[in-house]
Amino acid sequence: MGLMLSVCHAERPSTDKGKNAMAHRVRSIGITRIEPNCRCVYDSDSIDEMIWSIRREGQINPIKIWFIGGCFRILDGEKRWRAFKKMGIGEIKAIIDEEMDE
């Protein structure tokens, strides 16, 4: 569960300048630029419940991703990503964790 970090960390203002200050900014990323982490398995009902929630309330929390091997990889929020993909929505709010490269 070490990779399943709370998105609340991203909302805390950074006092650092430079890389750390940029590491937790929310951005819109194209769904097709993001790859699943291939460890999570969700049943169809679970994804459908997430779709219902997103349609009702919108995307409350951004997913958390990092860049590796020429693409973005999901750290947290794969169910949200799968719901967006199933709904045919082209972009999702994401936090790019640039500190994973260190």
Q: Is residue 9 part of a domain?
A: no
Q: Is residue 8 part of a domain?
A: no
Q: Is residue 87 part of a domain?
A: yes
Number of domains in the chain: 1
Residues 55-67 have a mean pLDDT of 95
Residues 54-71 have a mean pLDDT of 94
Q: Is residue 2 part of a domain?
A: no
CATH at residue 33: 3.90.1530.10
Residue 66's pLDDT is what? Answer: 92
Q: Is residue 11 part of a domain?
A: no
Residues 22-46 have a mean pLDDT of 84
Residue 28 belongs to what domain range? 19-101
Q: Rounded to the nearest 5 degrees, what angle is found at the Cα of 70, between the Cα atoms of 58 and 67?
A: 50
Residues 5-29 have a mean pLDDT of 51
Q: Rounded to the nearest 5 degrees, what angle is found at the Cα of 87, between the Cα atoms of 26 and 47?
A: 85
Q: For residue range 39-52, what is the model confidence (pLDDT) as tens digits?
A: 777 889 999 999 99
